[in-house]
Amino acid sequence: MVEIVVKELDIWFGAVHALRGVNMEIASKEILSIIGPASSGKTTFLRTLNRLNELDVTFKMKGSVELTGLDIKKIEAEHLRKKVGMVFALPLPLPLSIFDNVAYGPKVHGVKNKQKQQEIVEKALKQAYLWDEVKDRLGTSAFKLSGGQQQRLCIARTLAVEPEVILFDEPCSGLDPISTAKVEEAMLMLKANYTLILVTNNVKQAARVGDKTAFFLSGELIEIDRTDKMFTTPHDKRTDDYIRGKFG
């Protein structure tokens, strides 16, 4: 089933043409990895899907993005972001306790019942493989956690609003190999229930977790295919060069 359809997407920030004519279909309950060198438009593409680019006043967009058949411009931004969650490159806990970080999303969406909040928080932390490490200190500041724990907290926080799609923007760029493995493990488990889109600088990570892989270069989508095909017989020479580490 197709979850997201992107048609003729063009994006500018002021005079900078960040994305050029991108067409893409993203299947549901799969992991799509997006690779490409720095400033190739990967993150911009990701932030289009939850309309986070709109926080930048110089942002301009042409073309359309549809989420399960609905144009995202016609969905209220708050509601869209509830459906399309995001995990950022650096662990970015809110300046709140561990519990309140996870409960923040449900609270702003109107879950006032404490009992219900506790159930959501526990479930989300378990899904992100963090519950056992933090269950005795839910009231302490999220900044007391280690980097890897903070990133899994951010995943839990995103899960707590029960999205359909989760965007990962280089989620492991600041993490050590063991924490990275834990985050990847979490992603593979989440695939059963969510559509995941992973932007990564790490080509090997894309190969490890992605069902499909897309390659961006200078704001253009060069190629998108099944990961195994992409990494063995890519169509475009530039894809081949990038995967082999000849540039970027």
Partner 1 sequence: MSNAERTQKIAFFFIFLAAFLIVVPVGLIVAIIIQKGLPAITWQFLTDVPRQGMRAGGIFPAIVGTVYLVIGAIIFALPIGVMAAIYLSEYARDNFLTRMIKLAIVNLAGVPSVVYGLFGLALFVVFFKFGASILSGSLTLGIMILPIIITTSREALESVPHSFREASCSLGASKWQTVRYIILPNSIAGILTGTILGIGRAAGETAPILFTVAAFYLPQLPQSIFDQAMALPYHLYVISTQVPNVDEKIRYGTALVLLALVLFMNLVAIIIRYKFRKQKKW
Residues that bind partner 1 in the complex, under the rule CB under 8 A: 50, 52, 55, 57, 78-82, 85-86, 88, 90, 92-96, 104-105, 107-109, 141-143, 154, 157-158, 161
Please tell me the distance from the alpha carbon of residue 192 to that of residue 32, in angstroms, as a whole number: 14
Give, as one character, the DSSP assignment of residue 235: S
In this structure, what token pair is assigned to residue 90?
A: 């650096």
Nearer to partner 1, 85 or 148 (CB): 85
Nearer to partner 1, 141 or 218 (CB): 141
The answer to whether the CB of 129 falls within 8 A of the CB of 152 is yes
To the nearest whole angstrom, how small is the minimum distance from the Cβ of residue 217 to partner 1? 26
To the nearest whole angstrom, how small is the minimum distance from the Cβ of residue 84 to partner 1? 9
Please tell me the distance from the alpha carbon of residue 11 to that of residue 63, in angstroms, as a whole number: 9
Nearer to partner 1, 34 or 102 (CB): 102
To the nearest whole angstrom, how small is the minimum distance from the Cβ of residue 184 to partner 1? 21
Sign (positive/negative) of CA torsion 131, 135, 137, 141?
positive
Nearer to partner 1, 4 or 221 (CB): 4
To the nearest whole angstrom, how small is the minimum distance from the Cβ of residue 48 to partner 1? 13
To the nearest whole angstrom, how small is the minimum distance from the Cβ of residue 244 to partner 1? 34
Please tell me the distance from the alpha carbon of residue 152 to that of residue 14, in angstroms, as a whole number: 34
Return the biggest CA–CA distance within the chain.
56
Please tell me the distance from the alpha carbon of residue 187 to that of residue 174, in angstroms, as a whole number: 17
Nearer to partner 1, 105 or 210 (CB): 105
